[in-house]
Structure 1
Amino acid sequence: MSHPHPELSTPAPLPNGALRVIPLGGLGEIGRNMTVFEYDGRLLIVDCGVLFPEDNHPGVDLILPDFEAIRDRLDRVEALVLTHGHEDHIGATPYLLRERGDIPLVGSKLTLALLDSKLREHRLRETVHHVVKEGDRITLGPFDLEFVAVNHSIPDALAVAIRTGAGTVLHTGDFKMDQLPLDGRITDLRSFARLGEEGVDLFLVDSTNAETPGFTPSERGITPVIDQVFRDSEQRVIVACFASHVHRVQQVLDAAYAHERQVAYVGRSMVRNMGIARDLGFLKVPPNTLVDAKELAELPPQHQVLISTGSQGEPMSALSRIAQRNHNFVHIEEGDTVLLASSLIPGNENAVFRVINGLARWGARVVHKGNAMVHVSGHASAGELLYCYNIVKPRNVLPVHGEMRHMIANAELARATGVPNVVVAEDGVVVDLVDGVASVTGKVDCGYVFVDGSSVGDVTESDLKDRRILGEEGFISVIVVVDSVTGKVCGGPEIHARGNALDDSVFDEIKQPIIDALDRAVAEGNTDSYQLQQTVRRVIGRWVNQTHRRRPMIIPVVVEA
């Protein structure tokens, strides 16, 4: 990705009385959200999330923000503020706490409850918690924090106003302006306006839907569609959605109750998260509606509803296993209805359509965003963003949370409303607020940190390149035995190919050129086994490329005998 500030160097020390903003993730991508605020020698972190890998990250489980820029100053961190409970905002927290386990955590009741279950999975001990709600104000070191209710696709989301001696920052978190939310908790525009009257020096604004005109539809618009799906279904209904989408699950539970069906959750994260939401009062389960999945299987199909994870086609999710007919106890039958009640995250389209085709093959009717209004976004569209800029009237704007095109669209909206100064940055680009004006002052390194199994940060871009080559081109192994005294080839070359269409017999014509090249190398005094391996790699690599138009990974082994 091209960088808007390619020439930047390490920022100079922060001037006295200035505020520094260091985005370590979430600017230029949707995920991995993490922003560090520095004032008076102290740090405040807002969000610490993960990015989910795409097809060009083979073998990677998660992608984390790079903590290197603050690793030597973690003792100065006053707190980690979490705006809401989605994985792209809380998922990397356990990895940060491995580096300093006593960082205080600040967030709403549901957000911290969801995080606690994650910390237990990572076997991390309890940390200091500050449970906050909208309207609360707390002071942590030089940071005075005020929390504002915002509406999103998960309950209990908060925006945060950060007051410092350098000025006031308002960070929206992820938000939209649903005027009829299912839980009745709207984005508190009165507080946005009040903060605007006080003076917002820097406004960090969710950019995800900045390219979408108008207003994001209300969550309530989906209710009649879900009801119609239940009315039309003569057999079992399977609903797939995000394991954190409490509002969507609430709609399904209500529809199931109205149509005299019983519901079971499938998928560990769904069972866990909805249990937490119910215990805290965010999910209202109608009487005699929820049963265990094995109990549900004993009911007639027309009384069954399954709520499952896997709406993004994740290979190990419940829905993918159902589509492949290898789930333990859920088997798709002719006439079942599957409702994919979520958006398509960019990059996941092929995986999702693979699941849809698998379900359709077994006779299921699949209802998804492409053929019915079964999902609305959790992010503010352009009309809502304009509304916010006009209410808050900020002096400076820094678009956050989005790919570059989203942030540029958001910046254009801000400028259109008359915002005097708009800064578009990417991960690692440092923005300082000095004397009320925000400007780019440097850049810190912050690449991707890959989690692969139990290893964190051990996998490099070079490793991923090797994996991609192996996955796409296969590999060729070449074993040659040379005489340790004369350097002459006395065994082989033995050549084997895997993962491509090359038969071992095609290599007969290249064996003699390899021997000749090794003889020449030895005659020139190159007897080091590494140099001889490089000779083998060059000869066979050039031949495979010219003859078969392939660039496989070549693994040469030269053995001295």
Structure 2
Amino acid sequence: MKNTLLKTDEIGIFSLGGLGEVGKNMYIYEISNQIFIVDSGILFPDNHLLGIDYVIPDYQYLIDNQERIVGLFITHAHEDHIGGIPYLLKKVNIPKIYAAGIAVDMIEHKLNEHEDVKSPQIEVFKSHYKYNFKHTEMSFIRLNHSIPDMFGIVFRTKEGILFHTGDFKIDFTPVGPPAEYDKLAQIGSEGTLCMLSDSTNAEREGLIESDSKIGKSINELFSRIKGRIIIATFASNMYRIQQIIHSSILNKRKIAVFGRSMERAIEVGKQSGYIKIPKGFLISGEEINKIKDSDVTIIVTGSQGEPFAALSRIANGSHKQIKAHKGDTVIFSSSPIPGNQEGVNRTINKLFRLDVEVITHGPLADTHTSGHGSQNDLKLMLSLVKPKFFIPMHGEHRMLKYHRDLAVSCGVKPNNILIMDNGDVAAITKDSIRLAGHVQAGDIYIDGSGIGDIGSAVIRERKTLSEEGLFAIIITIDSSKKRLLSNPTIVSRGFIYMRGNEEITNELASIATKTAIAELNKKMFNELNMKQKIIDQLQSKIFEITMRKPVIIPIISDLSKTKETN
């Protein structure tokens, strides 16, 4: 089924996730009636998404057009770029996944955890590989990020070159292999038709520190600390994990690891060669207490204040194997992701209560650096690639607009830049770019094992329950005799305390009784109508008395129906 929004020879570019947000990245390129998917990520929920584990994009467009999909192309192995793959494969037929380096291991691990998912072939590419499809050649450019094996993707089409940067920063002294700046300059000299580029740090001025400098800073910190070191970082940041291991070995410290995702990352890192631990340095949780505090480094999850992560449980005193004590130093080798600051602060405060030293990234200690380029990095990318058309991606709306301004300062014409939302379709030819319309896009919530069975109405109800409470009223009637058989029973949870508020509850019971009798005496009795009338009457009265709007649940027990059943 052809995309009717596009004219003949137009290339379609849109996002199902990643625009107006930092997460659930999924970008679609439609070229010669073929669909190329770049990344399939998840978004970690904000506090207001009560009980939700992850947010994924709405895949409906891909379900409706799956016969045109040629493959899923992965830029790198962060969760906001690969975390949605199992859920995508449950809904959509993907012929092949194209991934490189550590992303291959991470995806295989992820798919092994979802036994009900049939994995397509994973095509392992290297930076010099090229793949040819109908009127399209795809190639790759190695860039630097906070995880190994990050690749930008180049599409050579009849209309011109398209370049998708993925996540990147400019690092001239990287921990891993250097970025392929010569390839960026090459596509720039050939003439890049359109570029989609990472906008995460588009507001940020100044220099993003090199990862190699952070390694030296961690070495220095470790050499000064006398007691036990507990250090938290992102499980996906292989380079940082290896730096921590290297510093521990330099200071003759044994290493213990806690947290499922951290254990998995180290296992994958060892398999791929990015994590190197000499024999005898990695110890189990049981061995920690047999070794002097000054000889131990504990690497843990929980750098973002996640409530069930290892560091949070240490701070709460609920971890089975590690109890924090005086003399410990906890290091956060990370910065809070937007929205996580409250959880991180809560963990830090609890650690201070345990009388441990806490070191976070700041003027006194370089313990972390961003994997996303600041304004200078983004301008260098624009200057090297020289795109005619530009679409900022991967960022909240203000970030996209900051990035637009940077592009204009680098010579891109303002009319050649599109700021888009998820689902907006850009139509591109060698001479033009336009907003062609909109495809279905939205949020799907993962709650436990359920995919999409929790809607926004349920989220609103959970929020109301958490803030306003619940008010239930049970009424027993005999609809055949048009009689109310007893006084209503009221149950309140998180709304008002029943004892001491008898006057309010009696008034509300009286309103419900009058409403129920009035509905019973109508010619055509309808139980649903009775419930709605009771909700309407109680809602206005409760708000008048208490200025609150609890969830109101009327429960009608009709004895005449019970008699009929018997």
- Shorter chain as denominator, the TM-score bin is over 0.9
- State which of 436, 439, 442 in structure 2 corresponds to 1:441: 436
Residue matched to 1:535: 533
Matches within 5 A, 1:150-161: 150-161=143-154
2 CA distance for matches of 1:99 and 1:560?
Answer: 43
Residue matched to 1:547: 545
Residue matched to 1:139: 132
Residue matched to 1:314: 306
Deviation, 1:27, is 0.6
- CA contact 2:146–2:370 (8 Å) conserved in 1: yes
Matches within 5 A, 1:10-49: 12-49=4-41
State the SS of the aligned residue for 1:395.
strand
Q: Which moved more, 1:146-155 or 1:14-23?
A: 14-23
Deviation, 1:488, is 3.0
* Corresponding residue pairs, total: 551
- State which of 448, 455, 466 in structure 2 corresponds to 1:453: 448
> Would you say 1:61 and 2:41 are equivalent positions?
no
Deviation, 1:231, is 2.6
- State which of 204, 214, 223 in structure 1 corresponds to 2:215: 223
Q: Which moved more, 1:117-126 or 1:449-458?
A: 117-126
Residue matched to 2:196: 204
- Which residue type is aligned with residue 347 of structure 1? G
- CA contact 2:233–2:303 (8 Å) conserved in 1: yes
- Which residue type is aligned with residue 510 of structure 1? L
Deviation, 1:426, is 1.1
Q: Deviations over 1:307-347 (max 9, x none)?
A: 11111111111111111111121111111111111111111
Q: Deviations over 1:487-512 (max 9, x none)?
A: 23221211110023432534012222
- State which of 326, 329, 339 in structure 1 corresponds to 2:331: 339
Residue matched to 1:7: none
2 CA distance for matches of 1:108 and 1:436?
Answer: 34
Q: Deviations over 1:411-437 (max 9, x none)?
A: 110011111211111111001112332
- Which residue type is aligned with residue 399 of structure 1? P
Gaps of 5+ in 2: 560-566
Matches within 5 A, 1:26-175: 26-123=18-115, 124-175=117-168
- Which residue type is aligned with residue 553 of structure 2? I
1 CA distance for matches of 2:472 and 2:4?
Answer: 51
2 CA distance for matches of 1:48 and 1:284?
Answer: 29
- State which of 478, 485, 492 in structure 2 corresponds to 1:490: 485
Task: Tell me the TM-score normalized by structure 2.
Answer: 0.94
Q: Which moved more, 1:343-352 or 1:284-293?
A: 284-293
- Which residue type is aligned with residue 507 of structure 2? E
User: Alpha carbons of 1:484 and 1:238: their partners in 2 closer, same or farther (altered >3 Å)?
Assistant: same
Deviation, 1:524, is 4.3
- CA contact 2:6–2:436 (8 Å) conserved in 1: no
Residue matched to 1:3: none
- Which residue type is aligned with residue 146 of structure 1? S
Deviation, 1:540, is 1.9
Deviation, 1:234, is 2.1
1 CA distance for matches of 2:342 and 2:37?
Answer: 35
Q: Deviations over 1:49-95 (max 9, x none)?
A: 00001111001111001111121211221110000000000000111
- Which residue type is aligned with residue 535 of structure 1? K
Residue matched to 2:516: 518
- Which residue type is aligned with residue 495 of structure 1? I
State the SS of the aligned residue for 1:412.
helix
- CA contact 2:5–2:436 (8 Å) conserved in 1: no
Deviation, 1:297, is 3.2
- Which residue type is aligned with residue 171 of structure 2? D
1 CA distance for matches of 2:19 and 2:178?
Answer: 26
> Would you say 1:422 and 2:423 are equivalent positions?
no
Q: Which moved more, 1:270-279 or 1:443-452?
A: 270-279
- Which residue type is aligned with residue 527 of structure 2? S
2 CA distance for matches of 1:108 and 1:85?
Answer: 9
1 CA distance for matches of 2:292 and 2:495?
Answer: 49
2 CA distance for matches of 1:12 and 1:510?
Answer: 56
Matches within 5 A, 1:264-283: 264-283=256-275
- Which residue type is aligned with residue 497 of structure 1? S
Q: Deviations over 1:383-427 (max 9, x none)?
A: 111111112111000000000011100011001111121111111
1 CA distance for matches of 2:209 and 2:99?
Answer: 27
User: Alpha carbons of 1:355 and 1:519: their partners in 2 closer, same or farther (altered >3 Å)?
Assistant: same
Residue matched to 2:464: 469
- Which residue type is aligned with residue 454 of structure 2? V
1 CA distance for matches of 2:21 and 2:451?
Answer: 20
2 CA distance for matches of 1:111 and 1:143?
Answer: 24
- State which of 396, 405, 417 in structure 2 corresponds to 1:412: 405
Task: Tell me the TM-score normalized by structure 1.
Answer: 0.95
Residue matched to 1:6: none
Once the two structures are aligned, what percentage of the paired residues are identical? 33
- State which of 320, 326, 330 in structure 2 corresponds to 1:328: 320
